[in-house]
């Protein structure tokens, strides 16, 4: 039987709880689809950092490169100063594994309460492709005269032609393969960030003729936040830089019902990719069996899709939709009407029956 080696990083807070449910569902669909998943656990996260002072140990990246994919719970610990774990683990993994695409579907599942008036599942189904290796996240810049009245802080956005182009090409290919509305929107700020988004816009315009079947559009980032709320049905696929992608996908998560359902993939199409629920470690719910595992379950589905196991991936999404439509009261932690493990059990059962 075909098998895949999966590196599992359960991480902090509720990460281990949701990852356990994710694995439960993955195992419920794999056999029937003719493959097997072998898991290897890694204890990277806040607990390990507090114990050892280490974020990612030496050799971790080389070790992870040997796997077919990485399944990540959440990184973030209330006792660790902000920035250390984010930069030392999550961003380090994204950068060192060159996961240059952050793929974030925004889809309103049936039965889910949408905060937007008069909008339903037929209006909210798009994908944000966030550049994941450059921009303001590259860490370029520095401070001068720190702590004095003359302090200077510079944080530069790095946009390379190669980095922008590989992201845009991925986005065009993705839009074509998705074949929904065949529409790709570039999200930027060409009216103010006239260096960075001039590069993005020129590269976008140069690639577009290679995809005559794809309709192209452009939206400024501030305007897109308005349209996500007013006319989310306008969007099919959106491509944007790292910082704007970070911001608009949190808004995206809210219009699809909240962090309880939002999943994402950090992709290196030529290397190892990593899949995660995007909601964070939610430490206040740790150990209570109340957190919603559907985001992690859906991230597992995205991982299977990425591995080419389309049938099994669809089974997971179908089951998750049935759960939201018929079985849980709310996506919010503690208000689902079921426990974390019950949602996992139910989704696994439904998925294996698809």
Write the CB contacts of 84 (distance below 8 Å, at least 6 apart in sequence): 49, 55
In the list Mn ion, ligand IPM, none, the entry touching 90 (Cβ below 5 to 8 angstroms by class) is ligand IPM
Q: How far is CA 153 from CA 91, 136, 148, in A?
A: 21, 13, 12
236-275 residues near Mn ion, rule: CB under 5 A: 246
Nearest to Mn ion of 207, 254 (CB atom): 254
Contact pattern for ligand IPM over residues 109 through 148, marking x by CB under 6 A: ----------------------------------------
The reply to whether 131 sits near Mn ion by the rule CB under 5 A is no
Give the nearest distance from C-beta 134 to ligand IPM in angstroms: 13
Q: Which stretch binds ligand IPM (CB under 6 A): 7-15, 84-92, 255-263, 321-329?
A: 84-92
> Do the beta carbons of residue 269 and residue 98 sit within 8 Å?
no
Nearest to Mn ion of 258, 344 (CB atom): 258
- At what angle are helices 310-322 and 340-353 packed, to 10 degrees? 130
Write the CB contacts of 281 (distance below 8 Å, at least 6 apart in sequence): 11, 12, 13, 14, 15, 46, 73, 74, 75, 76, 77
Nearest to ligand IPM of 89, 312 (CB atom): 89
| Residue-by-residue DSSP string for 229-246 | HH-GGG-SEEEE-HHHHH
The reply to whether 21 sits near Mn ion by the rule CB under 5 A is no
In degrees rounded to 5, what are phi and psi of residue 54?
-110, 135
Q: What is the dihedral of CA 98, 225, 173, 29, to 10 degrees?
A: 80
The reply to whether 97 sits near ligand IPM by the rule CB under 6 A is no
Nearest to ligand IPM of 264, 344 (CB atom): 264
Residue 163 burial (CB count, 10 A): 20
In the list ligand IPM, Mn ion, none, the entry touching 305 (Cβ below 5 to 8 angstroms by class) is none
Contact pattern for ligand IPM over residues 255 through 294, marking x by CB under 6 A: -----------------------x----------------
Q: Residues in contact with ligand IPM, total (CB under 6 A)?
A: 5
- At what angle are helices 15-30 and 340-353 packed, to 10 degrees? 20
Q: Among residues 55, 54, 66, which one has the least CA distance to residue 97? A: 66
Out of 6, 23, 90, 136, the residue judged to bind ligand IPM by CB under 6 A: 90
Out of 17, 125, 236, 246, the residue judged to bind ligand IPM by CB under 6 A: 246
Give the nearest distance from C-beta 147 to ligand IPM in angstroms: 25
> Do the beta carbons of residue 290 and residue 19 sit within 8 Å?
no
Dist. CA 295–CA 279, nearest whole Å: 8
Contact residues for ligand IPM (CB under 6 A)? 86, 90-91, 246, 278
Binding residues for Mn ion, rule: CB under 5 A, are 246
């Amino acid at each position: 039987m075909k098998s895949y080696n999966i590196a599992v990083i359960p991480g902090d807070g509720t990460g281990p709880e949701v990852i356990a449910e994710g694995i439960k569902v993955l195992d419920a669909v794999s056999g029937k689809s003719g493959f097997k998943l072998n898991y290897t656990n890694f204890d990277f996260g806040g607990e390990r950092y507090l114990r050892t002072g280490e974020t990612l140990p030496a050799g971790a990246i080389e070790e992870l490169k040997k796997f077919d994919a990485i399944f990540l719970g959440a990184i973030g610990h209330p006792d660790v100063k902000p920035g250390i774990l984010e930069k030392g683990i999550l961003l380090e993994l994204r950068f060192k594994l060159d996961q240059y695409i952050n793929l974030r579907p925004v889809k309103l599942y049936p039965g889910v309460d949408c905060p937007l008036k008069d909008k339903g599942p037929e209006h909210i189904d798009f994908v944000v492709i966030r550049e994941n290796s450059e921009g303001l996240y590259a860490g370029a810049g520095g401070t001068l005269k720190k702590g004095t009245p003359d302090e200077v802080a510079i944080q530069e956005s790095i946009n390379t032609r190669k980095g922008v182009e590989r992201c845009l090409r991925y986005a065009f290919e993705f839009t074509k393969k998705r074949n929904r509305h065949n529409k790709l929107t570039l999200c930027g700020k060409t009216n103010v960030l006239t260096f960075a988004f001039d590069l993005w816009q020129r590269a976008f315009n140069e690639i577009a003729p290679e995809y005559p079947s794809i309709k192209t559009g452009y939206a400024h980032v501030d305007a897109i936040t308005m349209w996500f709320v007013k006319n989310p049905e306008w969007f099919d696929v959106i491509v944007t830089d790292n910082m704007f992608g970070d911001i608009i996908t949190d808004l995206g998560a809210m219009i699809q019902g909240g962090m309880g359902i939002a999943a994402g993939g950090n992709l290196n199409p030529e290397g190892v990719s990593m899949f995660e629920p995007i909601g964070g470690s939610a430490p206040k719910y740790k150990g209570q069996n109340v957190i919603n595992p559907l985001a992690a379950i859906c991230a597992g589905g995205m991982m299977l899709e990425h591995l080419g196991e389309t049938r099994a991936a669809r089974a997971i999404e179908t089951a998750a939709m049935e759960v939201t439509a018929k079985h849980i009261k709310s996506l919010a932690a503690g208000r689902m009407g079921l426990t974390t493990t019950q949602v996992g059990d139910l989704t696994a059962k439904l998925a294996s029956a698809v």
